[in-house]
Amino acid sequence: MNRKYQMAWLAKATLTAFFALVSCAFATSFFGGPPEIQPADNDGEAGPAWIAYRREPTPQSVLLGTSLTYHLKEPFFLPVSVRNLAIPGRSVLTALEIIASYPKLPDNIFVELNVMTWRADNDFIRKFSYNSGAHFQVIAPIRAIVAYLGRPADKVGVRQPVDETILNQPPAEYDNRIYIQRGRVAWSGHNHDAVISETMDAIVHIVQKIEVRGSRVYFFELPLAPGMADTDVAKTTRAVAHQHFSDASRWLQFSYPADQLRFRDHAHLDERSALIVAHAMRDAMTAKH
Amino acid sequence: MTFTSWQFGIFVTVVFGLYYLPVLRTFQVHLLVLASLFFYGYGQLELLPMLAIAVLGTHLFLTLALRRRTIWLPIGIAFNLTLLAFFKYKLLFVTPTAATLSNIPAIDFLLRLPLPIGISFFVFHNISLLVDLTRRAEKPPPNLTSVFLYIIFFPQLVSGPIMQAANFMPQIKPKFLVDVEFVEAAKWTITGYFFKVYVANNLNTMTTYMDFPFYETVQWHDKWLLLILYSSQIYADFFGYSSIAVGLGRLFGYRLPENFNLPYISASFSEFWTRWHISLSSWLRTYLYIPLGGNRCGELRTYLNLMIVMGLGGLWHGAGLSYLTWGLLHGGLLVIERPFAGTLNAANSTTLRAVRVTFVFLCVSILWIFFKLPNFEQATAYLSGMFTHNNSPRTVHLSYALAALYTGPVIVQHLVPKALLARLTANAEPYLYGLMVALMYVEAGPDAAFIYFQF
């Protein structure tokens, strides 16, 4: 293969790659940013919500938490407007760090304190923080097309009416015994105590930084499946949380008919139960405004 | 340092720049050895001495075996197998994180060392070196630097391809920039990165649902889909790695063997093993199957040999019942098909070939479950879940569109005939590779380690 052919080949490939990337960058600026990427499954990823958070005006109220909070869909809180930024599978500290990186903060930040056994996810923080390189993300054409074609009806920012008639239906019955059994095993003992304490210390620190800037941070605890609330980890988490944030006015006090709640596993509410809890939370949140 | 990190990009650029400097031409081999040591030690500094012991020990035994093969060759092989067995299988007997182990500090230190990355590969290189060079009675033995380069050449150090010494050693000679096949190197490297970053890493986000306990939330038909996705992922991951290695090898003037040849169009299990991880199959055939007698000692002995080779091949991947089962089941399939192979191969029917290809692909894919889920109970639970309705209150639905788009390159590569693909893309080749570069940048999946790094 002669040298001239090789150089021509490499030049063509390089220029093609360059122009393709420039086209994606132009498309990004034309559409106003990368699309809200549809996750590979419907169990939910927090990415789209955080992309929307970066792109849209800062909301007045946000919910931060884990997958427990993730299932409380934003329309459940209507007419109260709240942006759910819960991140399944990651510490709430992750979300707090990202929020704190923005120059403008929401007025009210509601923070779930059920699960403290994870440390902050620095990769996620880097990806979605205000000063992250994600600002320069370019459109991924394949994902953009799939995201457009498969956009979910209740995508971020679109307020679909909620079918509240499900509240008139009887609660569903699930066989979630195996999940509760595993959950109890996972949450027994005191292996997580150190992480819980460290995480809570870090939350105290970051809440102070946030509140200095004028926002108000409130906390809440979501119900767990029967048998989980009395596990070692749940009890330790609750005790440490109330020890660090002992002011009762910081906590959302809300009640719900516990016998009406159903869990798909050891911790996650089904849709009807999530609606019941969201309504109860909505009233408590309104009282805090 | 992984192939997909920016540090690796800088590393290769610097080494390449120095490598072809005329003033350093005499030291090219030394430079590659130093670069490879840096590459290996970058992630696991504490294991560099172990790597050095393996190479120095092998060189010593090689020198001795060239004088008296019958004694020193088996000892040299045993030395290497002991290293492999110690690091790979110690976890069956000890828990390195335990507070107390043997109470002997030196032994405890060794027991607590992590599994050296690529040990399975460089031990096989060592054995190949010992067998090949003493078989040819080469005298004098190759110098230590050449031995080092053969064993630790960084493109192939971590996950192969496992190159036989007889094919590598003759390539050690001065290299010139004018001889570099830049286009070939670029094609291999771009293809490799594209398959890793675009296909494998994106599919990895979906096949996470094969892990415990997530697979319990997947419906039976999606379990089948995940299986096909994982088949594509593991191929794209390993083919990607091997292609990058081949491309890098070309940049430095070395021709590493191709490790894959469209394995999922195999019409038989024996054909599959001539197309999948070719360098391992070839190594096992040369250094294990044939010395065991191969197919020269009657049918029953042939079957036994196949089972032994595939069982050990399974255990080579890891110490666990799942890997052993995977190997033995492949051995079993090879044994079962062997009496019918002649008849089936003689039939000249496209339909029959399509049926056979589908059957082999499904069987191979099902057996990948034991790779994905090394816990045997979880693997069998996943397998049974593929045939039963899932009553779990938690279910997920996969994005079929993304599944199709991410597996697309693997499907196109396997199903579109090579000649047709070459004809269609003849004039557009550099543009297509350029688009692949752009696509792998903007559509890259979340970074994930190469699957074969764990072996």
Q: Residue A64 forms beta bridges with which residues?
A: A111
Distance (Å, rounded) from C-alpha B300 to C-alpha B429? 50
Q: Is the pLDDT of residue B441 over 60?
A: yes
> Pick the residue with more confidence: B255 or B89?
B255
pLDDT digits (tens, 9 = 90+) for B336-368: 999 988 888 888 788 999 999 999 999 999 999
The pLDDT assigned to A165 comes to 81
Chain B CB within 8 Å of residue A185 CB: no
> Pick the residue with more confidence: B254 or A78?
B254
- Chain-centre distance for alpha carbon B85: 19
CB contact under 8 A, A17 and B184: no
Mean pLDDT value of segment B369-394: 86
* In chain B, residues 383-442 whose CB comes closer than 8 Å to chain A: 391, 393-394, 396-399, 401-402, 405, 429-431, 433-435, 437-439, 441-442
The pLDDT assigned to A40 comes to 46
The pLDDT assigned to B341 comes to 85
Distance (Å, rounded) from C-alpha B78 to C-alpha B65? 13
The pLDDT assigned to A34 comes to 57
- Chain-centre distance for alpha carbon B389: 35
Chain B residues touching A272 at Cβ < 8 A: none
Q: What are the domain boundaries of chain A?
A: 41-132+157-288
**B454 CB contacts (<8 Å, ≥6 apart)?**
B115, B318
Catalytic residue among B59, B317, B389, B397: B317
Angle at A148 between CA A144 and CA A150, to 5 degrees: 115
Comparing CB atoms, the residue among A5, A12, A17 nearest residue B438 is A17
- The H or E element spanning position A61 is strand A61-64
Nearest to B164 by CA among B62, B312, B285, B54: B285
Chain B CB within 8 Å of residue A17 CB: yes
Count the neighbouring beta carbons within 10 Å of the beta carbon of residue B205: 17
> What is the CATH code for A41-132+157-288?
3.40.50.1110
The pLDDT assigned to A137 comes to 65
Distance (Å, rounded) from C-alpha B340 to C-alpha B337? 5
Q: Positive or negative CA dihedral for A182, A184, A190, A194?
A: positive
> A69 burial class (0-12, 13-18, 19+ CB within 10 angstroms)?
buried
- Please provide the DSSP assignment of B265-303 as one string: G-SSHHHHHHHSSHHHHHHHIIIIITTTTTTSS-HHHHH
Among A25-34, B119-128, B188-197, the least confident range: A25-34
Closest chain B CA to residue A148: B401
Distance (Å, rounded) from C-alpha A121 to C-alpha A123? 6
For an interface test with A, give the residue of B214, B217, B402 to mutate (most A CBs within 10 A).
B402
Among B15-19, B269-273, B389-393, B396-400, the least confident range: B389-393
Alpha helices in A245-289 (DSSP H): 271-288
The pLDDT assigned to A173 comes to 86
> Pick the residue with more confidence: A182 or B89?
A182
Tell me the pLDDT of chain B averaged across its residues.
Answer: 89
Query: 3-class SS at B204?
Result: helix
> Pick the residue with more confidence: B369 or A189?
B369
What DSSP character marks residue A216?
E
Amino acid in position B191: T
Nearest to A38 by CA among B419, B125, B402: B402
Chain B residues touching A143 at Cβ < 8 A: 402, 443
The pLDDT assigned to A41 comes to 41
Mean pLDDT in consecutive groups of 10 residues from the start of chain A, 289 residues: 86 95 83 56 62 86 93 89 91 94 94 92 85 65 75 51 79 87 89 90 94 94 92 93 91 90 90 93 84
pLDDT digits (tens, 9 = 90+) for B2-56: 888 899 999 999 999 999 999 998 999 999 999 999 999 987 788 888 888 899 9
> How high is the ipTM of this complex?
0.83
Q: What are the domain boundaries of chain B?
A: 6-179, 182-454
Angle at A118 between CA A116 and CA A123, to 5 degrees: 135
Count the neighbouring beta carbons within 10 Å of the beta carbon of residue A229: 14
B317 is catalytic: yes
**A77 Ramachandran zone, left/alpha/beta (phi>0; psi -120 to 50):** alpha
pLDDT digits (tens, 9 = 90+) for B217-243: 888 999 999 999 999 999 999 999 999
The pLDDT assigned to A211 comes to 93
**A178 Ramachandran zone, left/alpha/beta (phi>0; psi -120 to 50):** alpha
Order across the sheet with A61-64: list the strands.
A83-84, A61-64, A108-112, A216-220
